[in-house]
A and B are shown apart, each in its own frame.
Chain A
Amino acid sequence: MRFALTAEQQDLRDVVHELVERLCPPAVVRSAPDTPAVDELSRALAEVGVPGLLLPERCGGLGLDENYLVPLLTETGWAAVPLPVLETAGVAPAVLEAAGLADRLLADGIAVAADPAGSGLVRFAPRATLLLTGGWGGSGPITVVSLSDAHREPVAAVDPAAHLCRVGAPTVLGVVDDPRVVELAWQRGVLGAAAQLIGLSRRMLEMTVEYVGSRTQFGVPVGSFQAVKHHLADALLQVEFAAPAVARAGFSLATDSPERDRDVSLAKALASEAARRVARTAIQCHGAIGYTTEYDLHLYAKRAWALAADWGSAAWHRARIARHLGLAHTGTLPVH
């Protein structure tokens, strides 16, 4: 028993943290998708092996497991990286390998988007070259489509940094319906979203702690007031108890545990609730400046809201866990 990152996993975390801290400051999160800074960020993440992290070595990947995926995506979440990292590093490898398209994964950088619900709405679409559609809940076929010549219509969105688009007339490259692959892709997507939410939560908390420590009212830092302290202590509590559940879900996937589905749902439900709580607390504790778009906090809050609702909301995953526990919900699980 040793429930902590190994030295290699810590190294990966540190490398990625240093990379995104340097190449993905808030100005890059805000920038248009075709700017050189985003190109450089994408290239740098590809160079450390992000797209091939989970791809077997025989396919040219690093052949690592989900115990590495969690720290990687926690850090890219922390920086709100404006690229489809969780889709490319987490969801794509098994699907593209099954579709015989693994070489595309390694060639295109951070460029695979996903739309598991088949909603037609695709985050980070402008830079994506491939799109994986379907597979919601870990079943049904996943369609691999090329976005090279597809029509991408920008959609006004809560999170402008996600470059949300509606995609039309794409070219189908393949359909993957191997149940093991579809299930794995879904579970990795859920896990990856949960990991990014932990990173986003930590970032919002860091910003808020710093702010309330320097902002003064009534002649003292507002962070010295007990009302503010208790809000932030409660927010931290949610994050600190969600993070180990995310790490355990990574271990369950890496070891193919029979409880893996329940464990990824636990991770996503706790991480989604934590992120929502932290975002609300962070904005409240900042006061009016937290309600502006000039200040950077909103970049992380908006990413968190989108991710908390995607890949199964907290309520959706609780319903899933209830089934695993043999508790009969009378309702049926909605598609999304």
Chain B
Amino acid sequence: MDLTWSESEEAFRAEAREWLAANVPREPLPSGDTREGFARHLEWERKLFEARWAVVSWPKEYGGRDASLWEWLIFEEEYYRAGAPQRVTQNGIFLLAPTLFEFGTKEQRDTLLPRMAAAEDLWCQGWSEPGAGSDLAGIRSRAERDDEAGGWRLTGQKTWTTRGAFCTHLFGLFRTDPTAQRHRGLTYFLVPLDSPGVTVRGFERLDGDEGFAEVFFDNVFVPDSAVLGEVNQGWQVAMATTGSERGLTLRSPGRFLRAAERLVELAQAHPEAATDPLVDRITEVWMQAQAYQLFTLAQVTDIVEGRPPGPRSSLNKLYWSELDVRLHEAALELLGPQGQTDNPWSRGFLFSLAGPIYAGTNEIQRNIVAERVLGLPRK
């Protein structure tokens, strides 16, 4: 039991803190899920990349620092403490990249990872379809073999694609063997969105941002090199990414620790609104942010010592997503009538409502926890 950081970890923290203090934009950027905001965020992403802070845990050859998981957590803490912008590259660097490291060919890694780290290629996720949300294995978009051209032809529709309207590439699942059982016969494809036959239509989300998209594929050709992992093994490949999305990588504790501190500061600034019952709820939110951090530290210890979290990553997702909603609800109560304006807390509240839905709804997560962590019968 040792909850202290080593000297080199403290030095890493100091370096990150110093760079962030000097470089984080003074004024918050407009939302990265608007067209204008996205462009401003890309400037920030490229600045991070040039200073080698974009992908700290990746190998140096791909633009990272070979940072340990512990150092990554430290960086995330410092990143949010500094009030740095949201990461519009996150679906690529946190979801696709771990899958590329695990399943990609050397050629795929060498061509795709450096461009992803530099925010030259911008990746969105193509999983959900109009008829397949929670029931992901029910997807119908298909890929048909084109032997003559040496590749595949994609047909179908993806939807709820975050920042799809601004991205350049999509990673997604397509059915390659229509005769196989649902989870089999799927293949993981990497698709440039400027391929002939792709149509992207952006639409507005609950929070007013237009970064959502549906993506149509009409006989879109991709070469064999666009397949990640084995043909018909897409489900297994995709599940590796799902673990990342639900677990540590997308929602590091630093984000919630900082948000909870800001909530406490907001309560101190509004003593007239901070009634005892509300103070109690705010305290509870702060406590839950602490609990999330501590759970994560135990989980990282397990990972470092060779005990992967597996289905327990669903516990992370349930906890942070519900914590995020409660946190913003409390902030809006403190703000009273000011809460109805477009401000960081009201935007954060609207965004928090997506958390219990994306990356597998919390109802699906509870099924996973019950069946695969507690061992309750499936049927």
Binding site for B on A (CB under 8 A): 1-6, 9, 67, 205, 209, 212-213, 220-221, 223-224, 226, 228-230, 232-234, 236-237, 240-242, 244-245, 247-248, 250-251, 254, 266, 269-270, 315, 318-319, 321-322, 325-331
Selecting from B82-90, B176-184, B339-347, B366-374, the interface stretch reads B366-374
Select B366's contact among A4, A212, A234, A327, beta carbons within 8 Å: A234
- Residue B111 interfacial (CB < 8 Å): no
Interface size class on chain B is: 35 or more
Q: Could you give, for residues 345-372 of chain B, a 1 whenever the CB lies within 8 Å of some chain A CB and a 0 otherwise? A: 0000000000000000001011101110
Return chain B residues, CB-CB under 8 Å to A213: 375-377
Q: List 17 A-B contacts (CB under 8 A).
A: A3-B3, A4-B301, A9-B1, A205-B374, A213-B375, A221-B376, A224-B376, A229-B376, A236-B374, A237-B369, A241-B291, A244-B298, A245-B294, A251-B3, A322-B280, A327-B279, A328-B274
Return chain B residues, CB-CB under 8 Å to A241: 288, 291-292, 294-295, 315, 319
Return chain B residues, CB-CB under 8 Å to A321: 283, 286-287
Return chain B residues, CB-CB under 8 Å to A232: 370, 374, 376
Q: Given A5-B1, A244-B298, is A327 in contact with B268 using a C-beta cutoff of 8 Å?
A: yes
Q: How far is the CB of A241 from chain B (nearest CB, A)?
A: 4
B315 touches A237 (CB 8 A): yes
Select B376's contact among A223, A247, A251, A328, beta carbons within 8 Å: A223
Q: Which residue of B lies closest to A221 (CB)?
A: B377
**Which of the listed residues A2, A205, A254 has the most CB atoms from chain B within 10 Å of its own CB?**
A2
Q: Which residue of B lies closest to A224 (CB)?
A: B377
B3 touches A237 (CB 8 A): no
B:183-220 near A, CB below 8 Å: none
Q: How far is the CB of A234 from chain B (nearest CB, A)?
A: 7
Q: How far is the CA of A5 from the CA of B298 in the complex (A)?
A: 10
A236 touches B373 (CB 8 A): yes
Closest 3 CB pairs of A and B: A229-B370, A244-B294, A233-B369
A330 touches B291 (CB 8 A): no
Q: Could you give, for residues 292-306 of chain B, a 1 whenever the CB lies within 8 Å of some chain A CB and a 0 otherwise? A: 101101101110010
B378 touches A224 (CB 8 A): yes
Q: How far is the CA of A4 from the CA of B274 in the complex (A)?
A: 37
Q: Given A237-B315, A269-B287, A270-B287, is A327 in contact with B371 using a C-beta cutoff of 8 Å?
A: no
Q: How far is the CB of A143 from chain B (nearest CB, A)?
A: 33
B297 touches A244 (CB 8 A): yes
Q: How far is the CA of A322 from the CA of B376 in the complex (A)?
A: 38
Return chain B residues, CB-CB under 8 Å to A4: 1, 298, 301-302, 305
Q: How far is the CA of A278 from the CA of B301 in the complex (A)?
A: 27
Q: Which residue of A lies closest to B287 (CB)?
A: A266
Q: How far is the CA of A127 from the CA of B130 in the complex (A)?
A: 67
- Residue B117 interfacial (CB < 8 Å): no
Return chain A residues, CB-CB under 8 Å to B319: 237, 241
A244 touches B291 (CB 8 A): yes
Q: How far is the CA of A329 from the CA of B275 in the complex (A)?
A: 8
Q: How far is the CA of A228 from the CA of B371 in the complex (A)?
A: 11
Q: Given A1-B70, A327-B264, A327-B267, is A240 in contact with B315 using a C-beta cutoff of 8 Å?
A: yes
Q: Which residue of A lies closest to B284 (CB)?
A: A318
Select A242's contact among B291, B312, B318, B371, beta carbons within 8 Å: B291
Select B375's contact among A209, A240, A325, A329, beta carbons within 8 Å: A209
Q: Beyond A4-B1, A233-B373, A244-B298: 10 further Cβ-contacts under 8 Å?
A: A67-B1, A230-B363, A233-B370, A237-B369, A241-B294, A241-B319, A245-B290, A318-B280, A321-B283, A325-B283
Binding site for A on B (CB under 8 A): 1-6, 9, 70, 264, 267-268, 271, 274, 276, 279-280, 282-284, 286-288, 290-292, 294-295, 297-298, 300-302, 305, 312, 315, 318-319, 363, 365-367, 369-371, 373-379
Q: How far is the CB of B323 from chain A (nearest CB, A)?
A: 9
Q: How far is the CA of A89 from the CA of B188 in the complex (A)?
A: 57
A331 touches B373 (CB 8 A): no
B297 touches A3 (CB 8 A): yes
Q: Given A2-B2, A236-B373, A327-B274, is A270 in contact with B291 using a C-beta cutoff of 8 Å?
A: yes
Q: How far is the CB of A315 from chain B (nearest CB, A)?
A: 7
Q: How far is the CA of A322 from the CA of B282 in the complex (A)?
A: 9
Q: How far is the CB of B10 from chain A (nearest CB, A)?
A: 11
Q: How far is the CB of A27 from chain B (nearest CB, A)?
A: 27
B367 touches A226 (CB 8 A): yes
Select A245's contact among B291, B312, B370, B376, beta carbons within 8 Å: B291
Q: How far is the CA of A266 from the CA of B318 in the complex (A)?
A: 20
Q: How far is the CA of A1 from the CA of B315 in the complex (A)?
A: 22
Q: How far is the CB of B355 from chain A (nearest CB, A)?
A: 15
Q: How far is the CB of A215 from chain B (nearest CB, A)?
A: 11
Q: How far is the CA of A5 from the CA of B301 in the complex (A)?
A: 10
**Which of the listed residues A9, A67, A251, A266 has the most CB atoms from chain B within 10 Å of its own CB?**
A266
Select B295's contact among A5, A228, A244, beta carbons within 8 Å: A244
Return chain A residues, CB-CB under 8 Å to B287: 245, 266, 269-270, 318, 321
Return chain B residues, CB-CB under 8 Å to A245: 287, 290-291, 294
Q: Which residue of B lies closest to A205 (CB)?
A: B374
A1 touches B6 (CB 8 A): yes
